A and B are shown apart, each in its own frame.
Chain A
Amino acid sequence: MNRRTILLGAGAALTLPAFGARAQAVQITGAGATFPNPVYQKWAEAARAAVNIQVNYQSVGSGAGINQIRNRTVDFGATDAPLNAQQLAEGNLLQFPTVMGSLVAIVNIPGIENDQLKLTGPILADIYLGKITRWNDPRITAINAGLALPNLAIAPAYRADGSGTTFVWASYLADVSQEWKDRVGVGTSVRFPAGTGARGNEGVAGTVRQVRGAIGYVENAYAITNRLVTTQIQNKDGIFVKPEHETFMAAASAADWNVPGFAANIINTAGPKSWPIVAPTFILLPTNPTDAARSASVRRFFDWAFKEGDRLAQELEYIPLPQATKDAVRAAWNRQFGA
């Protein structure tokens, strides 16, 4: 802190007025998932002022996050793909969710406006399997009676870098298509049978923006801030829903969290208003921490985030956990570490 003040001189005094007066903050480090990175950074920024905990979160990818928490080189790990009960026991880890996010499909078809096009899960799967290749395919036109769909090649775009976004997307496609499950499977990077990869959300969105006939998948936050053309998707009840706050919340509230490691499956949940592609993201905390005080600080940070962080999460288009789930997580902490 001191060195920084010296380095920055007057600049630091102007920009960080609260710093000099404050006692040394507790520092905790975490690493892992990229999907929740923006909201973790936002929470970290606010928590430093509110509860005097400085969180250093590195979004290195879920795989690397799991590595680092297994090797105990960080205080907490973060992953989009939940570990199963056996993996958790082997690693002496406690898993809990923090926040949820939703994915949307984005398209670039001349004459098609936002949320006009209707798609179903099986159609999306077959597009990404390379089996539906034209926008005027009878299966698409059949459910889009009013739309003039051109005879245009479909160009699917996907994330080239391993990412939690791909994990959620592949989970959804595997849920709605047996062929996807058998041929491709689920993971943070999978072998896409068709289409082209692009790096990051920006890469996928850029490809879709530039290429006529392209389709891609991005986090909802990204679609909103960049005004991308999204689609309706048919949910489990057979109803076409638009990607909006109401449908996301409907899906989230339908989740069953009463499973080991809180590994709730919110993909394609039942309910007339549920958006089908919503997923939670998880934190991994050692059950035998090397430093009990730091472990307590991690819990104090997320406890604060559960209490005060909902607004910040919503600003970034994430979906907060239901109150009951937050309470269940707190109960799990108390069972493991004592109150």
Chain B
Amino acid sequence: MSQAATASTPAPARTSRGAGNLGDIVFEWACRGAGVFVLLLLGAIIIELFIAGLPAFRAFGLGFIWSTDWDPVQEVFGAGVSIYGTIVTAVLSIVLAVPLAFGVAFYLTELAPVWLRRPVGTAVELLAAVPSIIYGMWGFFVIVPAFATYVQPTLIDTLGELPGVGFLFQGAPFGTGIFTASFILAIMILPFIAATMRDVFEQVPPVYKESAYGLGATTWEVMKGVVIPYTRVSVVGGIMLGLGRALGETMAVTFVIGNANRISGSLFGPGNTIASLVALEFGESETGSLKLASLLALGFILFVLSFVVLATSRYLLRSRLKA
């Protein structure tokens, strides 16, 4: 049919194709240009943060990374405490969130009646949509009082007495601190990990599961023997994605971390993370000051941390993304 059209009216077809060629070139370059723009954007973010943080690296050397000093009065700055807090809260939040997320994903793929899957799945995803500042307020006005009055005194009186690990649960029950921050973070990343797990669980070919059921396996045995081995790599990728989120979360942590520039042995002790320190101290930093440079250097370090974690996550999830 197109041949007939070209044959009967060749001239208009040629002009339209000519315009099409120009249009094609413009459009393709617009698309490619936008792609390159995104590339340059990420590059610019890394370079800008590095340049802005350079005075801090110059002043304190590489020791900036592990020095635990943060003294705005003496103008001595180090990233050690906030890097420690960032990693500890993120890892702890993963420890808390992964079992929950696994339970939710298992329930949604294997256990829940079909009519319940969509509403429950949507509800869990909505948990991911709640803005982080709302988690911060909720944490501060609801979780912190509950922790200070009930959870922490109980844990301090019981687990705090244990030999060996007791030191993790000692100190004053402020309600805020490393543990509270990890707890809020865990709730925030739970839906991300659960959604990834659910998606990869659903990709297991039904025939594998059915043959296992046919052999008389229970639901849990199918999970353990078929689904988890089949999806292991992607599940770890999903967990890394959650870890990446937890590393850079700002608002929720800022409200509850207790912001102290010391490393506390106890999980209930205060600490800070890179993001919370930057958010809290930025307003009191003068342009051109060493403090501002140190905060931007912290931003650069956070970027490197997140980049490594997110890149790993993407590498592990690549098979799922291709599918």
Q: Show the binding face of A for B, using Cβ within 8 Å.
A: 60-64, 66-67, 70-71, 153, 155, 157, 160-163, 184-193, 195-199, 203, 206-207, 210-211, 213-214
Q: Contacts A62-B284, A198-B258 known; list 16 others, CB within 8 Å.
A: A67-B286, A70-B287, A71-B287, A160-B254, A160-B280, A161-B259, A163-B284, A187-B73, A189-B281, A193-B262, A197-B259, A206-B144, A207-B148, A210-B149, A210-B175, A211-B175
Q: A153-B172, A160-B259 given as contacts; is B284 within 8 A of A189 (CB)?
A: yes
The smallest C-beta distance from B169 to any residue of chain A, in angstroms, reads 15
B65 at the binding interface (Cβ < 8 Å): no
Q: List 15 A-B contacts (CB under 8 A).
A: A63-B285, A64-B283, A153-B172, A157-B174, A160-B259, A185-B73, A186-B73, A190-B72, A191-B73, A195-B260, A196-B270, A197-B258, A203-B140, A207-B176, A211-B148
Other-chain contact of A155, B174, B255, B272 (Cβ < 8 Å): B174
Verify B259–A199 contact, CB threshold 8 A: yes
Chain B residues positioned under 8 Å from A197 (CB to CB): 258-260, 270, 272
Task: Kindly identify, within residues 268 to 320 of chain B, every residue whose CB is under 8 Å from any CB belonging to chain A.
Answer: 269-270, 272, 280-281, 283-287, 289
Q: Which chain B residue lies CB-closest to A188? A: B284
What is the interface of chain A mostly: helix, strand, loop, or mixed? loop
- Which residues of A are found within 8 Å of B172, using beta-carbon distances? 153, 155, 196, 211, 213-214
Q: What separation, in Å, do the CA atoms of A101 and B54 have in the docked complex? A: 39
Find the B residue at minimum CB distance from A191: B71
Q: Closest B-chain residue to A209, C-beta based?
A: B145
The answer to whether B64 has its CB under 8 Å from any CB of chain A is no
Which residues in A have their C-beta under 8 angstroms from that of B254?
Answer: 160, 199
Number of B residues, CB within 8 Å of A: 36
B234-270 contact mask (Cβ, 8 Å, vs A): 1 or 0? 0000000000000000000011001111100000011
A191 touches B175 (CB 8 A): no
Which 4 interchain pairs have the tightest Cβ spacing? Answer: A162-B284, A61-B283, A160-B259, A185-B73
CB neighbours of A157 from chain B (8 A): 174
- Most chain B beta carbons < 10 A, residue from A155, A193, A203: A203
Complexed CA–CA distance, A214 and B260 (Å): 16
Neighbour of B140 across the interface among A185, A186, A206, CB < 8 A = A206
Q: A190 near B148 (CB under 8 angstroms)?
A: no
Q: Kindly identify which residue among B148, B173, B258 contacts A160, using a CB–CB cutoff of 8 Å.
A: B258
Which residues of B are found within 8 Å of A62, using beta-carbon distances?
284
A247 to B106, CA, bound (A): 65
B269: A residues at CB distance < 8 A: 196
- In the assembled complex, the CB of B188 is this many whole angstroms from the nearest CB of chain A, namely 18
**Nearest CB of B to A87, in Å:** 11
Q: Write out, one digit per residue, whether chain B residues 138-150 have a CB within 8 A of any chain A CB (1) or not (0).
A: 0011001100110
